[in-house]
């Protein structure tokens, strides 16, 4: 029998027992290195396993990322979980079922291909004898590796996959049960708070610790260099002590931030390394100049801009840490517990084997916010009160000021058309700071915030350009369209005025905004309908299908604007390899105040084989709403007077009453593998909105967030 290629996660952790266990109580436990951040991965992997094992989904228990119990699957990021962990668990479950049937065949003295399984009960239809998974193998280990030699079920036999199985995590949340890390309560638990410097360059000159040590409930005041924190018996006591400590602390050093209206000029002038991007990958090939073809009849240029953006998690970051002897245990909502463990061991100078990180849900952010930094805060405070679990939560102002931001980007595009209105030359230059700052063990520093302020500091690592396929700032910079000639260039800028890292979709949000806005501009120059112009240049049949499906569902016509209303369309395949999505935006622009109202988003998507239609819709809707908020509202503000976006009033986001109606059209491809969809709509949404605004007003907006001039 020929072995099928194993998913990467299984090649790295092939032991079946690392992934699945038959319990003796009628349940099955799955182990995944991925984490739940609102995307529904717990339900997805349970649904996949239940399908392969022929059991009721209610029997599945899912253990998420835990460095002591689960496989190491790196980060939960990049719309990879369903394909990666889901694919691994599908194979694991198929091989577990096969082994159970082998054992049952020996017990029942029946050929294996005659046996049937109904909710974990193995039945011989001839003798009518039966034996359950749990009686056969409950509480035992398989002691074998996954080989890829067992063929999973055919799609035609699916009964669970493809149905909208209810989310496993929702009932507890609806009932208000303590499911988030900030809600945890352990015996002997106390509370910690950290006092941050007034700005990143400041260092602690002095503080009256004694005045705080005598405050009610205070157990410890921790000072290590410029790291300052407090531990108290009750939360309100920790808050009061931290406030007092903040008043008594004296700092020296100042960070001068440039005016935020200068950031795009700084980007253009600050590049130190540039790379020609070929098929989505930076290369060391010479970068050709922008030279319009001699037979071009029309050449157009445009620049697009994305500001620094926050993750904007609804709740501040939190972590719970406990020190017992030389062992450190931390409960965290990090998106990568295994790489974070290595980074933590590096800073604390501990062996990784003495540290355990356990994922617990927190406020979702889809990217690298303060979740990892607060883990080091909690570990440092817990070391001051051994045997007491210490729950640390950031203030809202700390989350806004100190999280790593989504980086600002500048994009310059030019293209030429021939006499038939076809694109014959395409140029895309992107300037950006790093999109990659997640903590991991490395020899040149650490991105964990508190480590930079310790008496024995570990400095931040130098920023380096990402060179992987569709990573960082060049993600989706290479369009899927069939242009005769393409020149895509990544310009890396190392010295950001703000700390930056991963935010949902990385560079794809800005790149697709620019590409799909520019496609509308070129369509106008060619005198062609924007939908027809896209279809003319798109050979990918799946891409064409989602474009047409979105247009049909939205009632697209050759005239899509006027009287302050307009429709706009945009399209992308995330990373040119994940889910396809097309978005049509219906907008209304108030002529009195220039306010842009997104009234409806119509989305068509192709994510291959659909595991859970409702879960897929959730991802597409959530990505579109977040992208709409970035498009209309969100921008970090700063300047010589300091950081200005320190609360929700100064960093507005889309309100519930402003959220658009959303209609979803799903294209199921049961003959194709499932594709990640968590970031599929983030790129097309801003372009669809901007194109709709142009249709409504005749004004082309290229700066995010979108603002009509003079309004």
| pLDDT tens track for 127-181 | 999 999 999 999 999 999 999 999 999 999 999 999 999 999 999 999 999 999 9
Ramachandran region of residue 209, left (φ > 0), alpha (ψ -120 to 50) or beta?
A: alpha
Tokens describing residue 221:
């005041």
Give percent above pLDDT 90 in the chain. Answer: 93
Q: Is the pLDDT of residue 524 over 50?
A: yes
Tokens describing residue 341:
């463990």
Tokens describing residue 459:
């400095």
pLDDT in tens, 650-659: 999 999 999 9
Assess contact for 435 and 465: CB atoms under 8 A: no
Tokens describing residue 376:
């080091």
Output the CA–CA distances (angstroms, integers) from residue 32 to 19, 60, 486, in the order listed.
7, 13, 40
Q: What angle do CA 198, 204, 210 make, to 5 degrees?
A: 110
Cis peptide bond N-terminal to 705, omega within 30: yes
pLDDT in tens, 214-226: 999 999 999 999 9
Q: How would residue 711 be classed by pLDDT, with cut points 50, 70 and 90?
A: very low
pLDDT in tens, 610-659: 999 999 999 999 999 999 999 999 999 998 888 999 999 999 999 999 99
Check whether domain 8-158 has CATH 3.40.50.2300, yes or no: no
Strand order in the sheet with 486-492: 281-283, 273-278, 486-492, 423-432, 409-417, 298-306
Tokens describing residue 546:
């989602």
Tokens describing residue 530:
């924007």
Q: Collect all residues with Cβ–Cβ distance below 8 Å to 649 and sequence separation of at least 6.
A: none
Q: How would residue 503 be classed by pLDDT, with cut points 50, 70 and 90?
A: very high
Query: What average pLDDT does the segment 532-552 reach?
Result: 98
Residue 38 has a pLDDT of 87
Residue 710 has a pLDDT of 54
Query: What average pLDDT does the segment 379-406 reach?
Result: 97
Assess contact for 388 and 412: CB atoms under 8 A: no
Residue 2 has a pLDDT of 58
Strand order in the sheet with 130-132: 116-118, 121-123, 130-132
| DSSP per position, 301-362 | EEEEEE--B----SS--EEEEEEETTEEEEEE--S-HHHHHHHHHHHHT--GGGEEEEE-B-
Give percent above pLDDT 70 in the chain. Answer: 99
Whole-number Å distance between alpha carbons of 450 and 224: 10
295 vs 640, higher pLDDT = 295
Whole-number Å distance between alpha carbons of 697 and 672: 41
CA dihedral (500, 501, 502, 505) positive or negative: positive
Residue whose C-alpha is closest to residue 439's, from 356, 311, 338: 338
Whole-number Å distance between alpha carbons of 543 and 556: 17
Residue whose C-alpha is closest to residue 489's, from 504, 511, 505, 509: 511
Residue whose C-alpha is closest to residue 376's, from 325, 327, 318, 448: 448
- Backbone dihedral angles phi then psi of residue 122, each to the nearest 5 degrees: -90, 125
DSSP designation for 83: I
Dihedral of the alpha carbons of 370, 494, 432, 502, in degrees to the nearest 10: -20
Same CATH topology for 8-158 and 265-307+406-436+471-697: the answer is: yes
Answer whether 0.85 is exceeded by the pTM.
yes
| Domain spans, the chain | 8-158, 186-253+312-402, 265-307+406-436+471-697
User: Would you identify the CATH topology of the domain 265-307+406-436+471-697?
Assistant: Aldehyde Oxidoreductase; domain 4 (3.30.365)
CATH code: domain 186-253+312-402 is 3.30.365.10
Query: What average pLDDT does the segment 539-561 reach?
Result: 94
Residue whose C-alpha is closest to residue 199's, from 270, 257, 243: 257
Residue whose C-alpha is closest to residue 668's, from 576, 542, 583: 542
Alpha helices in 466-601 (DSSP H): 508-526, 530-536, 541-554
Residue whose C-alpha is closest to residue 605's, from 551, 555, 546: 546
Residue 84 has a pLDDT of 86
| SS3 assignment, position 425 | strand
Query: What average pLDDT does the segment 242-252 reach?
Result: 98
Tokens describing residue 239:
């808050």
C-alpha Rg value of the chain to the nearest Å: 27
State the CB neighbour count (10 A cutoff) for residue 259: 11
């Amino acid at each position: 029998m020929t072995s099928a290629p194993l998913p990467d996660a299984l090649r790295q952790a092939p032991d079946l027992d690392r992934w699945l266990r038959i319990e003796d109580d009628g349940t099955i436990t799955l182990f995944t290195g991925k984490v739940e951040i609102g995307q529904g991965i717990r339900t997805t992997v349970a649904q996949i396993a239940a399908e392969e094992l022929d059991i009721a989904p209610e029997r599945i228990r899912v253990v998420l990322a835990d460095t002591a119990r689960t496989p190491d699957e790196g980060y939960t990021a990049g719309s990879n979980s369903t394909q990666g962990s889901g694919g691994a668990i599908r194979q694991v479950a198929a091989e577990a079922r096969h082994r159970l049937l082998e054992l049952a065949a020996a017990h029942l003295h029946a050929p294996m291909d005659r046996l049937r399984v109904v909710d974990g009960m193995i039945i011989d239809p001839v003798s009518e004898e039966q034996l359950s998974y749990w009686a056969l193998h409950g509480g035992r280990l398989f002691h074998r590796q996954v080989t890829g030699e067992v063929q999973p079920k055919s799609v035609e036999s699916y009964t669970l996959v493809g149905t909208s199985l209810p989310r496993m995590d929702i009932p507890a949340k609806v009932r208000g049960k303590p499911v988030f890390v900030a809600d945890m309560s352990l015996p002997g638990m106390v509370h910690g708070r950290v006092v941050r410097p007034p700005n990143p360059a400041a260092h602690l000159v002095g503080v009256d610790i004694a005045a705080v040590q005598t405050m009610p409930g205070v157990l410890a005041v921790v000072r290590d260099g410029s790291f300052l924190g407090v531990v108290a018996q009750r939360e309100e006591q920790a808050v009061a002590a931290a406030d007092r400590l903040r008043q008594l602390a004296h700092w020296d050093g100042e960070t001068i931030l440039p005016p935020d209206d200068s950031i795009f000029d700084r980007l253009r002038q600050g590049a130190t390394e540039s790379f020609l991007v070929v098929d989505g990958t930076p290369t060391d090939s010479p970068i050709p100049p922008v030279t319009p073809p001699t037979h071009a009849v029309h050449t157009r240029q445009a620049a697009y801009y994305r500001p620094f953006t926050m993750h904007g998690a609804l709740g501040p970051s939190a972590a719970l840490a406990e020190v017992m002897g030389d062992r450190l245990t931390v409960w965290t909502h990090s998106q990568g517990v295994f790489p974070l463990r290595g980074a933590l061991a590096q800073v604390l100078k501990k062996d990784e084997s003495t540290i355990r990180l356990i994922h617990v849900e927190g406020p979702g952010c889809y990217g690298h916010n303060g979740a990892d930094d607060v883990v080091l805060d909690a570990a440092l405070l817990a070391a001051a009160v051994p045997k007491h679990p210490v729950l640390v939560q950031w203030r809202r102002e700390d989350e806004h000021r100190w999280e790593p931001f989504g980086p600002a980007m500048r994009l310059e595009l030019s293209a030429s058309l021939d006499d038939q209105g076809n694109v014959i030359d395409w140029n895309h230059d992107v300037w950006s700071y790093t999109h990659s700052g997640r903590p991991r063990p490395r020899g040149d520093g650490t991105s964990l915030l508190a480590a930079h302020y310790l008496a024995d500091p570990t400095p931040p690592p130098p920023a380096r350009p990402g060179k992987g396929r569709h990573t960082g700032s060049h993600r989706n910079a290479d369009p899927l369209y069939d242009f005769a000639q393409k020149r895509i260039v990544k310009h890396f800028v190392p010295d950001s005025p703000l700390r930056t890292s991963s935010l949902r979709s990385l560079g794809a949000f800005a790149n697709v905004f620019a590409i799909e806005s520019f496609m509308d501009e070129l369509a106008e120059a060619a005198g062609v309908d924007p939908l027809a112009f896209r279809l003319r240049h798109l050979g990918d049949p799946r891409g064409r299908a989602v474009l047409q499906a979105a247009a049909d569902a939205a009632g697209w016509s050759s005239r899509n604007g006027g009287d302050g209303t307009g429709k706009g369309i945009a399209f992308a395949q995330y990373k040119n390899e994940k889910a396809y999505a097309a978005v049509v935006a219906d907008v209304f622009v108030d002529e009195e105040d220039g306010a842009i109202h997104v009234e409806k988003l119509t989305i068509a998507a192709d994510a291959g084989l659909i595991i859970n239609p409702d879960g897929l819709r959730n991802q597409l809707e959530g990505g579109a709403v977040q992208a709409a908020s970035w498009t209309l509202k969100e921008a970090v503000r700063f300047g010589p007077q300091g950081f200005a976006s320190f609360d929700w009033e100064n960093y507005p986001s889309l309100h519930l009453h402003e959220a658009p109606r959303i209609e979803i059209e799903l294209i199921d491809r049961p003959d194709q593998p499932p594709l990640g969809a968590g970031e599929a709509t983030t790129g097309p949404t801003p372009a669809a909105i901007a194109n709709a605004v142009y249709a409504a007003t005749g004004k082309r907006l290229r700066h995010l967030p979108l603002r009509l001039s003079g309004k």
